[in-house]
Amino acid sequence: MITMDRETSSVVFTRSDGKEARFPLGDSPFAETSALSRLHVTPSFDGLLATTRSGDDIVFELPKSSSGEQLAGRLVVYLDQNQWSAVASARHDPAKVADEERDAARQLAEWVQQRKIVLPASSGHYYETTKRFDEKKRYALGLTVLQLSRGWQMRDPVQVRRDELHDAFCSFAGTAGSRNAAVFTLMPDVLHGHWRGGTPYVPPADLPPDAAFQHQALTSATALIDVMLDAERIEPGPDTGWAMANQQFSDWLDGVDRTSQQKRKSIDALLLSDLRTELAEEAHAAGGTLRQFQDWLPDQLFEDIPKLPTTGVFREMLHERHLNKGTVWRHNDLTDMVYLSCAAGYADFVVCERHMGNVLTQGLKRLRRPALVFRRLRDAVPAIEERLAGAERS
């Protein structure tokens, strides 16, 4: 076992017979506000154990560069932020949670430990958790997400959408180079897509390829844990104005004398405006010509979108909300729609709050896709159990 120990400022190599070798840690990777105390990794680099200063343990699975994706038949259950809060309360403040929800949260945790399901974390979960003011509650929620996600992540949903649009254009234009990256994965640096402009960590150039990948994966996993549990709250950032723009559009749509179909075309025009940068950049990346791009827009694009797992659901959610007279838009609606549409496109089950759950379910019905969307943990558990039982029988 290889251990980085904050308290003794040392790196410890421990053999199976218990003998140790200690070396100075040098420049400590632990910031003053870090909640981490020790990091343990095996020489095979298949898992990371992080121990916090409060004595809590977090185990992350690590990716294997040579073996591809590692779901191994496990079901993917995506929990919206409010459901993660319910699970955290069930684990850390059980008196505030109904018995049925507490039992359901316990069952999900057992299935995770038994390697029957994964509960992936998304950048949305990190965003919502790290901005909370109450440090104690923020730590409990972050710890719950980390302990039960075990390193599994949902790829940045906007990157997923970009990949879908890229591949749809490739198919139309007959160009090569389609993308086929797993949406739920252990791979490093996927929580935030390259389109955001961030620079991922680059391992030292003199490392062999396998060692460089292990180094990158370990650094990414450690950073995810450290950021989630840091004692300092992360400011949420400025309002983008997205909610206000959609509110104005909804108010205008409510006041015009148009049929439902005509209104849907107006909503598609709004969506096309929102996607214009993504469409142009991904068509260029696909290697198509300007004429092919012009031929694709807008008619063929809107024939392709319903076939796209994430983008098709997002479009239907946008239609559903704008067509509902009197809709009130809030700044977190964009977060909910982007992440839930991606989850519904690729996960086996989604558990989310009632309003967005209804919007999501209606969108899936219009697309004639199975709607495995639930409002409460206790409603989802029997359906998951039935699916697991069916898999065991087959």
Please give, one letter per residue, the 3-state secondary structure of 38-56. Answer: EEEECCCCCEEEEEECCCC
Distance (Å, whole) CA 319 – CA 263: 9
Per-residue model confidence (pLDDT) at position 236: 86
- Residue 233 DSSP code: P
Give the pLDDT of residue 217. 93
pLDDT at 104: 97
Pairing of strands 75-79, 117-118: parallel
Q: Which residues contact 57 (CB under 8 A, 6 or more apart)?
A: 49, 50, 51, 147
- The token pair at 342 is 């991606």
Find the domain containing 265 and state its range: 73-202+235-394
> Is 22 contained in some domain?
no
Is it the case that residue 394 has pLDDT exceeding 90? no
Q: What rounded mean pLDDT belongs to the chain?
A: 94
| pLDDT tens digits for range 23-39 | 998 888 899 999 999 99
The more confident residue out of 259 and 200 is 259
pLDDT at 69 over 80: no
The first and second tokens of residue 328, run together, are: 């009130």
Q: How confident is the model at residue 146 (pLDDT cuts 50, 70, 90)?
A: very high
Edge-first strand order for the sheet with 373-374 is 117-118, 75-79, 349-351, 373-374
Tracing tokens 């840690």 back to the chain, one arrives at 25
Sequence-ordered alpha helix ranges (H) in the chain: 81-92, 99-113, 123-130, 135-149, 157-173, 209-229, 242-255, 260-274, 276-286, 290-296, 299-304, 309-323, 333-346, 354-366, 377-393
Residue 350 lies in a domain: yes
Position 67 confidence tier, pLDDT thresholds 50, 70, 90: low
Residues 6 or more apart whose Cβ sits within 8 Å of residue 11: 2, 3, 4, 5, 22, 23, 24, 25
Domain presence at residue 94: yes
Report the C-alpha gap between 344 and 351 in whole angstroms.
Answer: 10
Task: Return the closest-CA partner of residue 178 out of 59, 45, 285.
Answer: 285
Question: Is residue 158 included in any domain, yes or no?
Answer: yes
Residue 279 has pLDDT above 90, yes or no: yes
Chain segment 190-210, per-residue pLDDT in tens: 999 888 888 888 889 999 999
Mean pLDDT of 129-148: 96
Q: What is the pLDDT of residue 66?
A: 64
Would you state the pLDDT for residue 174? 92
Residue with tokens 């206790």: 378
Mean pLDDT for the stretch of residues 251-272? 96
What pLDDT is attached to residue 347? Answer: 97
For a pLDDT cut of 90, what percent of the chain falls above it?
Answer: 84
Mean pLDDT of 312-332: 96
The domain total for the chain is 1
pLDDT at 86: 96
Residue 50 within a domain: no
Length of the chain: 394
- Between 77-91, 231-245, 349-363, the lowest mean confidence (pLDDT) is in 231-245
Is the confidence at residue 79, as pLDDT, over 80? yes
For the residues 76-81, what does the mean pLDDT come to?
Answer: 98
Q: Is residue 369 part of a domain?
A: yes
How far is it, in rounded angstroms, from Cα 196 to Cα 193? 6
Average pLDDT value for residue range 377-392 = 94
pLDDT at 147 over 80: yes
The answer to whether residue 227 is domain-embedded is no
